[in-house]
Structure 1
Amino acid sequence: MRSGTPPVLQLVGICKYFPGVAANEDVSLTIRSGEIHALLGENGAGKSTLMNIVTGIYQPDGGEMILDGYGVAFSSPQEAIRAGIGMVHQHFRLVSAFTVAENIHLGWSDTPRHIPAGVLEAHTRELGERFGMPLDPAARVEDLSAGEQQRVEIVRVLARKARLLILDEPTAVLTPAEANDLFRALRAFRAEGNAVIIITHKLDEVMEASDRVTILRGGRNVGTWATKDCSPQMLAATMVGREIVRQDLRVRAPDAVPRSAKPVMSLRHVSVRDGRGVETLSDVSLDLMGEEIFGVAGVAGSGQRELTELLTGLRAPDRGDVLLEGKALPADAVAVARAGVGHIPQDRLQSALVPSLGVTDNMALREYDRAPIGGNGLYHAGAALRLAQDIATVAGVKIPDYSMPVRNLSGGNQQRLVARREMRIASKVLVAAYPSRGLDIGAIATLHRYFAQLRDEGRALVIVSEDLEELLNLSDRIGVLFHGRIMGVLDAAQADVERLGLMMGGRTEERGAQ
């Protein structure tokens, strides 16, 4: 920032209150031009609320917002974007049935009322090239990967001349290659004198990509530092107010249940085809043992989603068999859940929760038809509320109003509630797809301890993750998927990141490309 140039954004004493909760309390923050500023904090620390105030979704209950040296107040996101502030949310806000070009231009005042599709697509292609984020203008959003959808969201914001770009958990659903592409584009955006705020829990990314970092705890700003003066350990301890001790969770408790000799769940020569007839899983055979954590590694799109859907009754195999304790597993998610299989899905808002329903209703989804909540056509609201309170207490989530829509909670708190709800019903198997996404470092450590406890009590766990260190620290065995095939299953004690990375790319130490 040039001497004498005012900051892009200053927040002075910002306060925001919800019933029973002080989401932000006297928060001050300065964002300079030409910087990437990381915003850290535990789930529920007030990060998203603060940025929703900046972008006009919420209005503050106290404090002042100053943009380019002038006081401002936004009553809507449209006003914020006209002032040069744009936000890409953790859950994308695109119209899935529309093309990329249609989404880019939707609601944009600069778009002529009547414009040929070819011109719209050419302009979209030009925008993508200008911002270093190539796009396929004619592709439908529903057919894009998460990384490609995020590019559409970012270009949509930048095309409207945003000078301050806010990204909420931008790499939560990206592959490492997509994350690298994103940060390359953000550095180019910064080099033009613009500013970026990143809300994230990934400390390695903070250290690599940001210039300064601010930490919120309990709705308050506890400090801002130059990133070069920080370490991941210092940031983690400041976020949660205590030192995070890393444990090797493969070490079993002295009273742990011995490993079973027979598999709890098995796949026998299973293959799956998608709607286009493309084989997404090919001749997969696996045995999942009780009293173990089985990790699944692989680059995005290698068949992880199809595998978890098979194991949880959401999909039937096109060929082969899925067995639970030696019996055929029905393609019926309700029946599979009743049989003792819990599921933490990849997309919590689309697959695990009903966003518009209250917290209580969402926590009762798995048990509404059985005592003490239901059965015989009855529904006991008091019992449902007590269940939701029990789950929230164990998950460490503070709920000001159990009837409020679950979408009003932070993404991390939604994930914690889903995880605890599914652990309750997982009497035999828990299938967890990317369970740490959106969680702060303290919540991840707690979740991992819960997984180890379930294993020691005799349950089988399947953990899908793109974080190889997470899999190596948690798993007893790790299976690697590549283009829908199992490249191999390794004992985690003998595995390392390099060996797993080779297998994820279709190679092993013994043979070349597959």
Structure 2
Amino acid sequence: MTKPYLIELKNITKRFPGVIANDKVNFNVKQGEIHVLLGENGSGKSTLMSVLAGLYRPDEGEIIVRGTQMVFRSPGDAISAGVGMVHQHFKLIDSFSVAENVILGDHNVAPVLNMKDIENNLAQLSQRYGLHIDPSARVWQLSVGEKQRVEIVKMLYRGSRVLILDEPTAVLTPQETAELFKNLREMARSGRGVVVITHKMQEVMEIADRVTVLRKGKAVATLEKKQINRRDLAWLMVGQDVVRQYKKKSPPGEHKVLELQGVHCMNDLGRPCLQNVTFTVHSGEIFGIAGVAGNGQRELAEVVSGLRPVTGGSIYIKGNEITGGSPRRIIDHGVALVPEDRLGTGLVPNLGAVDNLILKDYRTGKLQRGPFLNLRQARENTKNLVNRFEIKLSSLDAPVKLLSGGNLQRLLLAREITAEPHLLVAVYPVRGLDIKATEAIHNLLLQQREKGMAILLISEDLDEIFKLSDRIGVLCNGQITGIIPAEMTDIEEVGLLMMGSDQAGEIAL
């Protein structure tokens, strides 16, 4: 007789106003397996896992835990049934210790706390699964990888038999990712079931025992490990073949477009951030900046675009010094920015496409008709850009906050690219986008490179960095630890540099 599934979702349907997020979805998790959940943005992955974790109640369908039908009215019910979820954005209190975070909200903890015993129990639990943490450390003292381990230990401490991880490697180095996968396999071997939500094909190939693909709210396939291949997964996700073309037609030019010489700056807390940063970006070159989040990437983009003051060093655009220049002056020197925060910094959420696309043009005289704006011309220009960049809009005047992530990014790139800048600073340009939108954005960047534009690409995704970049600069603790031609290095070496290691061999600076 076969054992029952640890968790089984049968015909789960979840509706929101105007949309069916999950449409009769079947999903299950076996004991001792790692089950990967794949799908485009908006395919229903997060909704399905929120149902499983007790955050949503399904409109139809059943949740069966080890053969018994259950109704989850809250995340507490799911945790009591042995289902725990580690969210992409960790739910920890920085000022508390690791042990205090783990027991917070746990109704099974004794009324009188013996923190020494709790810390000893956590140390033993973490050691058993290779999750090295210090139970007495304060959360604010931990790295991102350590915080993730705390979240996992918290679920294990509460007896979770099924562990859900949402994009668990988004902020980890390759070495931390390998360590995480080792830990997840150990948890599966102990008889637990692990669900991993990811959009990275390499991770699916490496870790999955089974894969379930969602598309437009429906489960289109569940594949065993021996059935998994990249092409089929891409087709199942988007409903068509995804052609990857990353071969560069021409070598980078020799003209220096961006030059940083010994640049220093402070972070938002008034502490030193960038320290003696020196590099150049040439015409027709994509210069990739790799690094774990929080090592100065955002500050670097802001310094180059004039949004953050420089405390030392110099910045040049095509030989003209722009150090300390205002954003307007730097724009006039041919610098365009695609920021990390599309809606907060890049676009105005409550304005329509026309108003967002003229934000940089209305002062230049291109759209002036006497003392007024030529709105007819602005609308005509917007229609042309919408068609050229294949932006899907319900209306030119509808607030852009209603657009999907991919269409927001296309709109932002349309505005910045058509300004014909010398330098484009692209910060996490495909973060949160599905595979189809990612391909479109990558192709846009490559097209601009072939036209001679210099591109400073900042990304946490090493696959993206390696596919697009001509050279890779690694940023660690605000310092450039190495600059290497992309074809002369590998992910392992870049990962070592991301951790500040000096064991990565000879690096050309």
TM-score normalised by the chain length of structure 2: 0.79
Report the counterpart of residue 17 of structure 1 in structure 2.
Answer: 15
- Tell me if structure 1 keeps the 8 A contact 2:13–2:22: yes
Report the counterpart of residue 255 of structure 1 in structure 2.
Answer: none
Higher mean C-alpha displacement, 209-218 vs 472-481: 472-481
Deviation at 1:145, TM superposition (A): 2.5
Which of 192, 195, 199 is the equivalent residue of 1:194?
A: 192
Deviation at 1:139, TM superposition (A): 3.7
Deviation at 1:203, TM superposition (A): 1.8
> Are residue 506 (structure 1) and residue 502 (structure 2) matched?
yes
Partner secondary structure for residue 214 of structure 1:
strand
Structure 1: unaligned runs, 5 residues or longer? 253-257
- Tell me if structure 1 keeps the 8 A contact 2:172–2:292: no
Report the counterpart of residue 476 of structure 1 in structure 2.
Answer: 470
Write the distance in 1 (CA, Å) between the matches of 2:390 and 2:82.
38
Write the distance in 2 (CA, Å) between the matches of 1:76 and 1:405.
30
Report the counterpart of residue 365 of structure 2 in structure 1.
Answer: none
Summarize deviations over 1:200-248 as a string: whole Å, max 9, x none: 1122211221211111112111111111222222222222222222212
Report the counterpart of residue 408 of structure 2 in structure 1.
Answer: 417
* Cα distance change of structure 1 residues 80 and 371 upon mapping to structure 2, 3 Å threshold: farther
- Tell me if structure 2 keeps the 8 A contact 1:33–1:194: yes
> Are residue 453 (structure 1) and residue 441 (structure 2) matched?
no
Partner secondary structure for residue 28 of structure 2:
strand
1:237-316 equivalences in 2 (<5 Å): 237-251=235-249, 262-272=255-265, 281-298=274-291, 303-316=296-309
> Are residue 46 (structure 1) and residue 44 (structure 2) matched?
yes
Report the counterpart of residue 85 of structure 2 in structure 1.
Answer: 87
* Cα distance change of structure 1 residues 414 and 157 upon mapping to structure 2, 3 Å threshold: farther
Write the distance in 2 (CA, Å) between the matches of 1:403 and 1:161.
45
1:59-458 equivalences in 2 (<5 Å): 59-113=57-111, 115=113, 121-122=119-120, 124-251=122-249, 262-272=255-265, 281-298=274-291, 303-324=296-317, 326-330=320-324, 341-344=335-338, 351-353=341-343, 360=350, 414=405, 417-418=408-409, 420-421=411-412, 424-425=415-416, 427=419, 428=421, 429-458=423-452
Write the distance in 2 (CA, Å) between the matches of 1:485 and 1:434.
19
Task: Give 2:24's aligned amino acid.
Answer: D
Summarize deviations over 1:275-331 as a string: whole Å, max 9, x none: 999865443222223443111235666654543343244433332123345242448
* Cα distance change of structure 1 residues 480 and 124 upon mapping to structure 2, 3 Å threshold: same
Task: Give 2:159's aligned amino acid.
Answer: K
Task: Give 1:506's aligned amino acid.
Answer: D
Write the distance in 2 (CA, Å) between the matches of 1:474 and 1:220.
33
Partner secondary structure for residue 221 of structure 2:
strand
* Cα distance change of structure 1 residues 130 and 109 upon mapping to structure 2, 3 Å threshold: farther
Deviation at 1:140, TM superposition (A): 3.7
- Tell me if structure 2 keeps the 8 A contact 1:250–1:475: no
Partner secondary structure for residue 79 of structure 1:
helix
Task: Give 1:216's aligned amino acid.
Answer: L
Task: Give 2:106's aligned amino acid.
Answer: W
* Cα distance change of structure 1 residues 86 and 238 upon mapping to structure 2, 3 Å threshold: same
* Cα distance change of structure 1 residues 438 and 143 upon mapping to structure 2, 3 Å threshold: farther
Task: Give 1:421's aligned amino acid.
Answer: L
Partner secondary structure for residue 31 of structure 2:
coil
Task: Give 2:263's aligned amino acid.
Answer: V
Deviation at 1:99, TM superposition (A): 3.3
Partner secondary structure for residue 150 of structure 1:
helix
Higher mean C-alpha displacement, 195-204 vs 484-493: 484-493
Partner secondary structure for residue 437 of structure 2:
helix
Structure 2: unaligned runs, 5 residues or longer? 363-370
How many corresponding residue pairs?
Answer: 491
Aligned CA RMSD, in angstroms, stands at 4.4
| Percent identity for Structure 1 against Structure 2 | 41
- Tell me if structure 2 keeps the 8 A contact 1:415–1:435: no
Write the distance in 1 (CA, Å) between the matches of 2:467 and 2:268.
36
* Cα distance change of structure 1 residues 310 and 453 upon mapping to structure 2, 3 Å threshold: same
